[in-house]
Amino acid sequence: MQNRFRKLRSSKAIRELVREVRLSKDGLVQPFFLVEGKGQKQPIPSMPGIYRYSADLIVPAVERFVKAGGKSGLFFGITDKKDARASGSYDPSGVVQRGIRAIKKHFPEFVVVTDVCLCAYTDHGHCGIIHNKKIDNDKSLPVLARMAVSHAEAGADIVAPSDMMDFRVGAIREGLEKNGFHDTILLSYAVKYASSFYGPFREAAHSAPGFGDRKTYQMDFANLRESLKEASQDVAEGADIVMVKPALAYLDIVREVKNQFNVPIAAYNVSGEFAMVKAAAERGWIDEKRIVLESVTSMIRAGCDLVITYHAKDIARWIQE
Ligand code: PBG
């Protein structure tokens, strides 16, 4: 006799009883953008509901997320203080460093993750230092390490390098150790593809490259096996958590990385993925809540232990309802 599989779908309670993946707000990370100045809450046109906040207004923004059940945020800095050396990136009174101090003062338990990358601080908008007209891998490493250490000094729990220079995980780990930050967690954007899904973010962060593209450092989206090389080296250099980015078009990569490595796996549901959902929902073409819950469930089913998503606050609220 064959079985009747519909038995296990026959009521909501039974479906919930046998569900394989259960959504929890514990693994959700909400990205936040920090800007200079005071009293700033700037909307981002292609990312409805997401704002750039100055250090004074970031605290109420985080508070709203915490009230919805949120426990962790990923912080990006946006500044017009840009130069060839990316010196704003490691400034102890820089835009991110001040923001983190304010958050940690009010919410010491809130898990602060910081994006470590030079693109918002270089005058050319690339993620590394330029030397002889090239993005110079090894000249970028000490700057990235210094930036990560300055985030740890300001109170970051987790530093997350997204630049895609080789050996930056090792350089950052060494910088943290040398400066006494033995407990700072390193979340590596190990598997980061050169993707068109980052468009709205670059508008938000004023971080688009002034010339060329990021294809000499971010990965070719046609490659899966390359993701295993990247993840393997980052784990060997001391990454505690590895990330795959973007998320939805890359769930095969998430699954493969999950199968091969025994560290927690994160995925970044990026700005372009968010903008597409928002745009279609605004037109009434899709049901936003259902689309988002289905998408984030599929990310977890694919193997994500944590998901970074601009929908985090909404998802947390929907779960609580
Ligand atoms: C910085 C960085 C980017 C994103 C996260 N960190 C942009 C890029 O690589 O160009 C993208 C995030 C998003 O699209 O939501 N390098």
148: its two tokens: 């990560």
pLDDT of residue 170: 98
Low-confidence stretches of the chain (pLDDT beneath 70):
none
Residues in the chain: 321
Cβ contact 92:146 at 8 Å? no
- Alpha carbons 283 and 188: distance in angstroms, whole number: 36
Q: Which residues contact 244 (CB under 8 A, 6 or more apart)?
A: 190, 191, 227, 250, 253, 254, 257, 265, 266, 267, 268
Pocket test for ligand 1, best of 46, 96, 201, 214 (most atoms within 8 A of CB): 201
pLDDT of residue 267: 98
Q: Which of 192, 258, 278, 313 is catalytic?
A: 192
For residue 26, which amino acid is it?
D
CA geometry: angle at 217 spanning 214 and 222, to 5°?
A: 85
DSSP per-residue codes, 281-302: HHTTSS-HHHHHHHHHHHHHHH
DSSP per-residue codes, 89-156: GG-TTSHHHHHHHHHHHH-TTSEEEEEE-STTTBTT--SSEEETTEEEHHHHHHHHHHHHHHHHHHT-
Pocket test for ligand 1, best of 29, 207, 269 (most atoms within 8 A of CB): 207
Cβ contact 185:97 at 8 Å? no
Looking at ligand 1, which atom is closest to the CA of residue 192?
Answer: 9
- Alpha carbons 88 and 62: distance in angstroms, whole number: 24
Whether 192 is catalytic: yes
Whether 104 is catalytic: no
pLDDT of residue 320: 85
pLDDT in tens, 89-106: 999 999 999 999 999 999
Nearest alpha-carbon partner for 164 in 243, 53, 99? 243
pLDDT of residue 207: 86
> Which residue owns the Cα nearest ligand 1 atom 11?
198
> Which residue owns the Cα nearest ligand 1 atom 6?
162
Looking at ligand 1, which atom is closest to the CA of residue 207?
Answer: 10
pLDDT of residue 206: 86
Q: List all residues whose CB is within 6 A of at least one atom of ligand 1.
A: 115, 117, 119, 127, 162, 198, 201-202, 214, 270-271
Whole-prediction pTM value? 0.97
